[in-house]
Amino acid sequence: MAKIGIYGSSFDPITNVHLWTASTVAHRCKLDRVIFLPCSSKRQDKKLNVSDEHRMNMVQLAIADNEKFEVDDYEMNQLGWEIATYITLRHFREKFPGDEIYFIMGADLLVDIGEGKWQRADDLIRENKFIVMARDGINMLSAISKSPILRNADDGQTFHLIDKGLAMEISSSYIRDELKMGGEPRYLMPDKVYEYIKTNNLYQ
């Protein structure tokens, strides 16, 4: 039985921190694989800056030399109104029936789920396992204890909290701003991604 982490994000663009985070989570949680899941541009709540194709290409370039990493375009291929994390995770549980599936997310998303902001939040928590990464200013244990949705599902197996050393932030938006203003964010992302952005004149 393999342990698989699903790592969803905009990856607009993918950064060295995305890769470092995925690598650290895989190491600490003994994951066999991390599947990078770029979100769809069809989602109503996301405003993306480049096409799905460009974001997919950049992720593929960034993870090519790590055999534990792969990328999946599942959410990119769904209709905008049908995209929900509950449905996505059900898809991966069906795709890998003998394996353990974990959804990798930041503590800020844990708070949102606990407040009932996600579709089918109760079912999502009851049926899945989560690796939750620390975010500055968020007390994860407090977030769980304050939310009936999270509190009632916490059997000691549902949430794997990583509270040391993962609050480092280099955001994709910072990189986009630097590129737009003629800055030089070269070493915040893999060389191949930087070259791809320059070649294709992205985020100008």
Strand partners, 132: 105, 161
DSSP type of residue 75: G
Confidence of residue 4 (pLDDT cuts 50, 70, 90): very high
Q: What tens digit of pLDDT does each residue of 80-99 get?
A: 666 789 999 999 999 999 99
Residue 170 pLDDT greater than 70, yes or no: no
Q: What is the pTM of this model?
A: 0.92
Confidence of residue 166 (pLDDT cuts 50, 70, 90): low
Q: What is the mean pLDDT of the chain?
A: 91
Torsion sign across C-alpha atoms 107, 102, 193, 67? positive
> What CA–CA distance (Å, rounded) separates 122 from 176?
36
pLDDT score for 169: 61
Confidence of residue 40 (pLDDT cuts 50, 70, 90): confident
Q: Dmax of the chain from CA atoms?
A: 50
pLDDT score for 6: 98
Q: Is there a cis peptide before residue 38, judged by omega within 30 degrees of 0? A: no
Torsion sign across C-alpha atoms 28, 31, 36, 40? negative
pLDDT score for 165: 60
Q: What tens digit of pLDDT does each residue of 103-123 get?
A: 999 899 999 999 988 889 999
Cβ-Cβ contacts under 8 Å for 108 (sequence gap 6 or more): 135, 138
In the chain, the percentage of residues whose pLDDT exceeds 90 is 74
